[in-house]
């Protein structure tokens, strides 16, 4: 049921945030004493007439937790009819948080609202969330048309909406303009490869081996650590999909997906000695220090391009000192069977758990967060607001390092990516599927299985899990 944001691949990319989240969450829990944060309780005299809200936030960094509390305090100051009894950033990792939520729902004592890093679809499908369509229709900022279609699809199941994708990390093709220029390629994003084949051809220009160590690379297929999170984007780039939400059917072993994996395997064979392990043991190819402590090749000027999320804007110089700062981002190239570029996303969803005491009151806060509170959120952590009413925001770090004009331009780029995002996170068995697909891709890349055979096995497993859930509901 859960996704793996807090698990291995996520720690690779945003582990600093998660790592500090444990300490931060614990500190906040201590601050809160019995789980309540006195600093957030407003208007004590009028407390009896006010609706007391309890709001939970996943285990992020101390800064993330702090800003959530500030936004809640801002809202409570605006709306005198509510007060926040607690805004609790729970300790632990994402899976611990998820367990705490389910336990609270099962025990009949859930918070009124929460931020989740797991798709609302899988929770909604199990009656763990409140459907919010009526609340959205009557709201100021949260009507259906105020959200990018692809993003809102991650909250919709069987005609009902179970959450709001208030902010999102969006994926793009990050590149080092200096390296491209060294090869005589103009640094503008319009010069980037438009197809996978062009990407592969260009990538070869940068590949340098020293024995079995990959010293530099152009682009390593999915950063050498082909997790399942980005797979829907690559599938869509090749004209396919992994899960057909409308028909509640997995399509993992479709021809376009087999073609996709065949392409990746042949690329690794041709450019990377057919051994993904050698690639992985040479450097970090995802823009972050790896779990084994290998520094990121991109920031070291040894990798021309990589696929990564918008959160790298904030993290670009967080772990290592980059040798360049004029990074840029472009569209994903299109696969052999694809027609146009797409993007993908990883939202922070807000949702109301089943059994919440004050759904209307907390939805007011969610509505406020979507269009107003996100500005403060973004200023602290550059997760991109997705609601149409959200103010235009600029990442301060980028403004300081690259100037306002570039920051505006890059935010406009992310807006475009949000609009062209493919549907993701739409399966009610998303957690299971992510795990299974991750296994499948790993088996394919390490040559433990052939693409067609392994994708067929994954298809059978995911479909069986899905049908088991649907059968239970039926």
Partner 1 sequence: MATMAMRRTAVSPLRRQESRAGLIFILPWLVSLLVFTTYPVLATFYLSFTEYNILQPPSWIGLENYQTIFTEDPAFWKAVRNSAVYALVSVPLKLVIAFGLAMLLNMGVRGIGVYRTVFYLPTLVPPIAATIIFLLLFSPAGGPINSILGWLGIRGPDWFNDPNWAMPALIVLGVWPLGVETLAFLAGLKEIPQDLLDAAAVDGAQGWQRLRHVILPLISPVILFNLVIGVIYSFQVFTQALVIGGFNGEPLESTLMFLVLIYRNAFRYFSMGYAAALSVILFLAVLALTLLIFRSSRAWVHYEGGQR
Q: Does 439 bind partner 1 (CB under 8 A)?
A: yes
Using the contact rule CB under 8 A, the part of the chain among 48-56, 96-104, 407-415, 417-425 near partner 1 is 96-104
Asked if 4 touches partner 1 (CB under 8 A), the answer is yes
Based on the shown chain and the rule CB under 8 A, indicate whether residue 16 belongs to the binding site for partner 1.
Answer: no
- In the complex, the smallest distance separating the C-beta of residue 32 from partner 1, rounded to whole angstroms, is 25
Under the binding rule (CB under 8 A), the answer on residue 14 touching partner 1 is: no
Based on the shown chain and the rule CB under 8 A, indicate whether residue 230 belongs to the binding site for partner 1: no
Q: Which is it for strands 156-157 and 113-116: parallel, antiparallel or unpaired? A: unpaired
- Which of 94, 102, 440 minimizes the C-alpha distance to 250? 440
Q: Which stretch binds partner 1 (CB under 8 A): 44-52, 176-184, 197-205, 287-295?
A: 287-295
Closer CB to partner 1, residue 281 or residue 337? Answer: 281
In the complex, minimum distance from the CB of residue 205 to partner 1, in angstroms, rounded to a whole number: 27
Q: Treating both helix axes as pointing N-terminal to C-terminal, what angle do 255-271 and 196-204 enclose, rounded to 10 degrees? A: 10
Q: Which of 51-59, 98-106, 134-142, 384-392 is the region at the interface with partner 1 (rule: CB under 8 A)?
A: 98-106
Residue 23 binds partner 1, judged by CB under 8 A = no
Give 326 or 446: the residue with its C-beta nearer to partner 1.
446
In the list 190, 210, 321, 472, the residue contacting partner 1 (rule: CB under 8 A) is 472
- Binds partner 1 (CB under 8 A): choice among 29, 294, 393, 394: 294
Pattern 332-371, partner 1, x by CB under 8 A: ----------------------x-----------------
Single residue of 5, 14, 54, 280 touching partner 1 by CB under 8 A: 280
Of 110 and 148, CB closest to partner 1: 110
Pair of tokens at residue 410: 């890059």
Distances (CA, A) of 214 to 217, 303, 434: 7, 10, 29
Size of the site for partner 1 (CB under 8 A): 34
For partner 1, give the closer residue by CB, 271 or 435.
435
Q: Which stretch binds partner 1 (CB under 8 A): 245-253, 308-316, 368-376, 439-447?
A: 439-447
Q: Which of 124, 224, 364, 431 binds partner 1 (CB under 8 A)?
A: 431
102 forms part of the interface with partner 1 (CB under 8 A)? yes
Q: Which of 236, 440 has the CB closer to partner 1?
A: 440
Q: Does 443 bind partner 1 (CB under 8 A)?
A: yes
Residue 2 binds to partner 1 (criterion: CB under 8 A): yes
**Of 435, 441, 455, 462, which one interacts with partner 1 (CB under 8 A)?**
435
CB of 105 to partner 1, least distance (A): 6
Q: Binding to partner 1 by residue 286, rule CB under 8 A?
A: no
Residue 325 CA to residue 312 CA, distance in Å, equals: 12
* Piece of 139-147, 184-192, 323-331, 441-449 that binds partner 1 (CB under 8 A): 441-449
Q: Is 273 in the site for partner 1 (CB under 8 A)?
A: no
Out of 23, 46, 63, 106, the only residue in the binding site for partner 1 (CB under 8 A) is: 106
């Amino acid at each position: 049921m859960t996704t793996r944001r807090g698990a291995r691949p996520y720690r690779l990319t945003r582990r600093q945030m998660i790592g500090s989240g444990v300490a931060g969450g614990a500190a906040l829990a201590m601050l809160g004493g019995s789980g309540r944060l006195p600093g957030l309780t407003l208007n004590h005299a009028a407390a009896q007439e006010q609706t007391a809200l309890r709001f939970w936030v996943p285990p992020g960094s101390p800064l993330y937790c702090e800003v959530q509390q500030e936004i809640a305090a801002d809202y409570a100051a605006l709306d005198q009819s509510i007060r926040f009894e607690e805004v609790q950033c729970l300790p632990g990792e994402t899976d611990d948080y998820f367990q705490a939520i389910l336990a609270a729902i099962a025990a009949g004592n859930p918070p009124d609202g929460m931020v989740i890093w797991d798709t609302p679809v899988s929770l909604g499908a199990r009656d763990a969330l409140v459907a919010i369509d009526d609340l959205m229709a009557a709201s100021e900022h949260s009507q259906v048309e105020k959200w990018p279609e692809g993003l809102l699809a991650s909250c919709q199941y069987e005609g009902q909406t179970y959450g709001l994708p208030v902010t999102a990390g969006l994926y793009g093709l990050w590149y080092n303009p200096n390296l491209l220029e060294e090869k005589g390629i103009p640094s503008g994003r319009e010069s980037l490869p438009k197809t996978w084949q062009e990407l592969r051809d260009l990538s070869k220009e940068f590949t340098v081996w020293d024995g079995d160590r990959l010293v530099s690379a152009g682009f390593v297929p999915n950063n050498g650590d082909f997790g399942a999170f980005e797979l829907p984007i690559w599938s869509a780039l090749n004209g396919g999909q992994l899960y057909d939400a409308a028909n509640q059917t997995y399509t993992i072993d479709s021809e376009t997906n087999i073609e996709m994996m065949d392409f990746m395997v042949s690329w690794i064979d041709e450019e990377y000695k057919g051994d993904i392990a050698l690639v992985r043991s040479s450097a970090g190819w995802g823009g972050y220090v790896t779990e084994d402590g290998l520094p990121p090749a991109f920031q070291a000027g040894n990798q021309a391009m990589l696929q990564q999320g918008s959160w790298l804007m904030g993290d670009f110089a967080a772990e290592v000192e980059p040798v360049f700062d004029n990074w840029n981002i472009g569209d994903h190239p299109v696969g052999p069977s694809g027609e146009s570029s797409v993007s993908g996303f990883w939202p922070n969803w807000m949702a109301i758990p089943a059994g919440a005491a004050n759904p209307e009151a907390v939805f007011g806060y969610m509505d406020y967060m979507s269009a107003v509170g996100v500005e403060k959120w973004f200023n602290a952590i550059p997760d991109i607001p997705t609601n149409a009413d959200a103010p235009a925001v600029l990442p301060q770090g980028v403004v300081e390092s690259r100037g306002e004009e570039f920051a505006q331009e890059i935010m406009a780029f992310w807006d475009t990516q949000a609009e062209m995002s493919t549907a993701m996170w739409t399966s009610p068995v998303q957690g299971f599927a992510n795990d299974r697909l991750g296994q499948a891709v790993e088996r394919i890349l390490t040559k433990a299985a052939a693409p067609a055979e392994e994708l067929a096995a994954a298809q059978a497993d995911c479909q069986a899990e899905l049908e088991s859930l649907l059968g239970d509901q039926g």
